[in-house]
């Protein structure tokens, strides 16, 4: 599966700062100082609907991570998946009387278009669950043969008790885990499971649903968590720098995935930092496909909204915050974009060297994008009322905003 084209990232004078970021597992801020190549895995979409603002906010956060690392003169090895076969996708296809593969391909293509418009840097490896199946089957067989998985009516489940570090990503108690498991795709009430929290690794073929050859597992399709584990281990190995996604993935998805990988490799942890973006609400409720309260990036673009304004709207909130999308949020972003463009369109201006460092400092401090925007706002306010004589300043500000915030002026 191919990703989307990369926009050019301008080089800035000097060098950026190492990233300090909040780690869900330790509930504290840690400093990440990768080697020459920083490694990040971000969980992708289940393509049964278009990209909504909640998706865009999540991928914006991890785009900032990439930009901070690139500014430190590192390379970035970024991997993202597409869950192109799963229950929600099959249910939507059945509801709309569509072929599930055509639905997945269409929505994945639209996602690529949205990411391109928003200037999100693409992953080096963009892998669909279906194409990962040949690598998933051997992992499930290894877990089963090691006694870390068991069969139940043809399905194969992972035993969470096989991992002594289970629970160290989300730090939730058993009751909270059970409630979230039921809410987020698990089946804690299924009879016969050794532990209600045990997640499915391989689902035996169901009538009328797609299935693949699973070798000794029989025909079926993979569970949700093992998909990302197989892709991450194949392309990044263990103890990569960041495992990322929305805050609703901390449990069960990232918790279970970490346990799968840790049992498979005997290493701990799977990732140095587990980083989670907040949820976006609309009309007082979390934006979600199940509730249907969605604002689509593609719809905003069709309505003539500049993608740079959409991106500024996302950047105006800290990535870990839960916030609400409103017309006022977008209007403020549109106005900000107009001011910034007016300021950099002048032939000269006030010096901007300190601005570069202010934006770097803000983003290295747990991706504090609102502080970075405020720094640019202060320069813009001075620029619009002053008679500066630095001919290089407007260009330097444009390159800084592009390189570090992904906004083209």
Give yes or no for a contact between 259 and 294, defined as CB atoms under 8 angstroms apart: no
Residue reference for tokens 């592009």: 402
Does residue 409 register a pLDDT over 90? yes
Structure tokens at 17: 């700062």
The two beta strands, 220-222 and 200-204, are: antiparallel
Q: Of 261, 206, 4, 188, whose CA–CA distance to 91 is shortest?
A: 206
The one-character DSSP state at 6 is P
CA distance 15 to 34: 15
- Mean pLDDT throughout 72-79? 98
Task: State yes or no: cis peptide before 269, omega within 30 of 0.
Answer: yes
Does residue 290 register a pLDDT over 80? no
Q: How confident is the model at residue 136 (pLDDT cuts 50, 70, 90)?
A: very high
Strand order in the sheet with 280-282: 285-286, 280-282, 323-324
Angle at 12 between CA 354 and CA 33, to 5 degrees: 90
Tens-digit pLDDT profile for residues 303-333: 999 999 999 999 999 999 999 999 999 999 9
CA separation, residue 303 to residues 181, 300, 307, 331, 339 (Å)? 38, 5, 11, 14, 21
Indicate the helix (H) or strand (E) that contains 360.
Answer: helix 353-364
Q: Of 204, 207, 232, 230, whose CA–CA distance to 218 is shortest?
A: 204
Structure tokens at 171: 């730090």
Model-wide pTM > 0.85:
yes
Tens-digit pLDDT profile for residues 215-236: 999 999 999 999 999 999 999 9
Q: How confident is the model at residue 357 (pLDDT cuts 50, 70, 90)?
A: very high
Written as one string, the DSSP assignment of 190-215 is -TT-SSTTPPEEEEEP-TTS--B--G
Q: Which of residues 116 and 294 earns the better pLDDT score?
A: 116
């Amino acid at each position: 599966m191919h990703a989307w084209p990369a926009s050019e990232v301008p080089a800035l004078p000097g060098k950026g700062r190492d990233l300090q970021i909040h780690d869900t597992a330790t509930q504290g801020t840690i400093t990440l100082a990768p080697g020459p190549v920083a490694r990040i895995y971000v969980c992708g979409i289940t393509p049964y609907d278009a990209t909504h603002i909640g998706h865009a906010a999540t991928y914006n956060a991890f785009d900032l991570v990439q930009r901070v690392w690139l500014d430190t003169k590192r390379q970035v090895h970024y991997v993202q998946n597409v869950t192109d076969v799963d229950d929600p996708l099959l249910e939507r296809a059945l509801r709309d009387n569509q072929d599930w593969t055509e639905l997945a391909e269409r929505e994945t293509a639209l996602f690529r278009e949205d990411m391109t418009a928003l200037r999100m840097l693409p992953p080096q490896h963009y892998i669909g669950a279906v194409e990962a199946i040949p690598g998933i089957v051997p992992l499930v067989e290894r877990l089963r043969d090691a006694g870390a998985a068991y069969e139940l009516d043809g399905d194969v489940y992972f035993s969470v008790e096989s991992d002594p570090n289970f629970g160290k990503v989300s730090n939730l108690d058993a009751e909270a885990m059970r409630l979230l498991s039921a809410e987020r795709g698990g089946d804690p009430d299924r009879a016969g499971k050794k532990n209600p929290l045990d997640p499915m690794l391989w689902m035996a073929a169901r009538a009328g649903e797609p299935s693949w050859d699973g070798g000794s597992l029989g025909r079926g399709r993979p569970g949700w968590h093992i998909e990302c584990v197989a892709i991450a281990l194949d392309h990044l190995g263990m103890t990569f720098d960041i495992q990322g996604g929305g805050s609703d993935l901390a449990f069960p998805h990232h918790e279970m995935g970490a346990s799968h990988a840790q049992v498979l490799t005997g290493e701990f942890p799977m990732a140095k930092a587990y980083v989670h973006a907040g949820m976006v609400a609309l009309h007082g409720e979390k934006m979600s496909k199940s509730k249907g309260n969605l604002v689509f990036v593609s719809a905003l673009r069709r309505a003539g909204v500049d993608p740079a304004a959409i991106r500024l709207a996302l950047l105006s909130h800290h990535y870990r915050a839960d916030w609400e999308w409103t017309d006022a949020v977008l209007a403020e972003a549109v106005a900000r974009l107009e001011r910034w463009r007016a300021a950099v369109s002048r032939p000269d201006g006030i010096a901007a060297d300190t601005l570069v460092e202010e934006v770097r400092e803000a983003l290295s401090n747990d991706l504090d994008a609102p502080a970075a925007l405020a720094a640019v706002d202060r320069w813009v306010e001075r620029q619009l009322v002053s008679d500066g004589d630095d001919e290089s300043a407007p260009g330097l500000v444009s390159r800084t905003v592009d390189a570090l915030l992904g906004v083209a002026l």
